[in-house]
Amino acid sequence: MHAADWPFLDAMWRWSAFAGDAALAQGAGREAIARLREARLARLLDWTGRHSAFYRERWGRHGGHERHLAALPAVRKAELMARFDDWVTDPAVTRAGVEAFVADASRVGRPYLGRYAVFSSSGTTGVPGLLVHDADALAVYDALGATRLGALAPAWNWRLPLSGMRFALVAATGGHFAGVAEWERLRALNPWFHANARVFPVGLPLTELCARLEDFRPTVVASYATVLRALAGEKEAGRLALAPQALWYGGEWLAPGARRHVERAFGCRVAGDYGASEFLNIACECGHGALHLNDDWVILEPVDERGRAVPPDEPSCTVLLTHLANRVQPLVRYELGDSVTLASRPCPCGSPFPVIRVDGRRDELLRVRGAGGREATILPMALTTAIEEATGEHRFQVVQAGSGELRARVEPEAHGRGAGARVKAALVAFLASQGLAGVRVRVEAGPVRANPASGKFRQVWREAPGGA
């Protein structure tokens, strides 16, 4: 398709170098990994201090040669976005240029300036972000995905042209979102993957999504945890004949009970990774179902509400991320927002990478009843994407207040600008597209509330019984 857009040989060379490195680190033990991490951190801080005007200013007196990560200030997405052109280290990359690039949905998965991947994120902190990734960062994600997805490695190795393998991704489409953009990038780089992988919009009504998946008959289905739960419900009810060899989740949290439910319904393994638009695979799940932090390439610091380090086995308020691979848009002590618990005990799998638990995004499936008693399952990711794409608003929450009633809360300032009416229209249109006419929709002005534990706000939840 547009393979020529990406520097193919360069990507393959970097990938093989980083995959070899990732496999070696896995076998080298904790001390060797710590040495790798420290060397990479020193190079990152040196680079960032020299090339990013934003960090140079923020670091001030810490800007000398003796930089210690814990002494540097934490940074937030909103301030980085406000100073975008000073944040990036390649003067050719500008906020105006990136915004023009992502405004064109036909460019999803294609390179910006011939060499960078761009992901736009609405972000669970309610501030839209534009994340630019360079060739090294992309090669690291590919290498980690290929070498550290223990439970899924055989099914997931998309580089091997295994006959009969077909990959389905159910994700938010219509924008440069990380999931679909990364998938399209891999399709552009690999003709075999291009022919055997397909993206399905999460916004489809569930019955139509099931029908389209059955037509494609994927051997691996990748999606958000809530989508896998909804598909498991359809499978159990006998409305879905799909028989994949493996399921993959990312983005949202998959609770242990929900995992057992999905695995029982499909009779196959569920595995996943924990990632964000800022770093695609921060931690990879092993065969024991534990998430192992890839701390040779990313540093996570769990902190409390005052930014102090949280000891192992205690859930953090938020987490600071330092990205050791990406140079074009450095992330040093970047507040990611998720609550992360670092486990003190090693995993029985023997991996040298530490185990983390993530209590981040926990949106809920909604079961909504429309006119004539027709019921349908609503996927939170589909609902929020539909509203964000139609209105450009990100600071809103949707609450199911009864089986046939949804209430949307929009921040007073945005509400006054007419956002309330636009959110209502988008919500009604989305429900109609799901075959749910006649659902009561109320929009009110009010502050969106963050989850006190994670600092993120849950965008979708239900108040009354009657949900899925």
Find the part of the chain contacting Zn ion (CB under 5 A) among 188-196, 237-245, 267-275, 351-359: 351-359
Q: Using the rule CB under 5 A, which residue among 62, 76, 194, 288 binds Zn ion?
A: 288
Find the part of the chain contacting Zn ion (CB under 5 A) among 38-46, 318-326, 339-347, 384-392: 339-347
Closest CB to Zn ion among residues 144, 317: 144
Find the part of the chain contacting Zn ion (CB under 5 A) among 50-58, 151-159, 258-266, 289-297: 289-297
Q: How far is the CB of 247 from Zn ion (least distance, A)?
A: 19
String marking each residue 243-282 x if it binds Zn ion according to CB under 5 A: ----------------------------------------
Q: Using the rule CB under 5 A, which residue among 45, 246, 347, 386 binds Zn ion?
A: 347
Asked whether position 286 contacts Zn ion by CB under 5 A, the answer is yes
Length of the chain, in residues: 468
Closest CB to Zn ion among residues 240, 286: 286
Closest CB to Zn ion among residues 27, 64: 27
Name the β-bridge partners of 121.
129
Rounded to whole angstroms, the Cα distance separating 456 from 318 reads 9
Rounded to whole angstroms, the Cα distance separating 251 from 277 reads 9
Q: How far is the CB of 286 from Zn ion (least distance, A)?
A: 3
Q: How far is the CB of 288 from Zn ion (least distance, A)?
A: 4
Asked whether position 349 contacts Zn ion by CB under 5 A, the answer is yes
Instruction: Indicate the pairing of strand 334-335 with strand 318-323.
Output: antiparallel
Closest CB to Zn ion among residues 262, 347: 347
Asked whether position 290 contacts Zn ion by CB under 5 A, the answer is yes
Closest CB to Zn ion among residues 202, 290: 290
String marking each residue 369-398 x if it binds Zn ion according to CB under 5 A: ------------------------------
Q: Is residue 287 packed enough to be buried (19+ CB in 10 Å), middle (13-18) or exposed (0-12)?
A: middle
Q: How far is the CB of 139 from Zn ion (least distance, A)?
A: 24
Chain residues in the site for Zn ion (CB under 5 A):
286, 288, 290, 347, 349, 351
